Amino acid sequence: MIRLISIVYAAFALLVMIYLWRSLMNPLQKLASFIRAYEPGRVIPNTPGEGRKDGAHAA
């Protein structure tokens, strides 16, 4: 019985770690692609946060 509980707990912990990893990496990947496309002195083609619906506005 304890072995079953340990396996379920380990699987749950793994799922939580995968979720947190993805929630951290997705914004970093978007930031990296934006930084790679940005060239100083040029107009920014697509302002990050332009289509946000949470009330935050890009300056």
In contact, 33 and 46? CB cutoff 8 Å: no
> Which alpha helices (H) appear in the chain, and where do they start and end?
2-37
Name every residue whose Cβ is closer than 8 Å to that of residue 58 and which is 6 or more positions away in sequence.
47, 48, 49, 50
Query: Mean pLDDT over residues 21-44, rounded?
Result: 83
Q: What is the pLDDT of residue 21?
A: 94
In one-letter notation, the amino acid at residue 43 is: V
Residues in the chain: 59
Name every residue whose Cβ is closer than 8 Å to that of residue 46 and which is 6 or more positions away in sequence.
none
Residue 46 pLDDT class (50, 70, 90 cuts): low
Query: Mean pLDDT over residues 5-9, rounded?
Result: 97
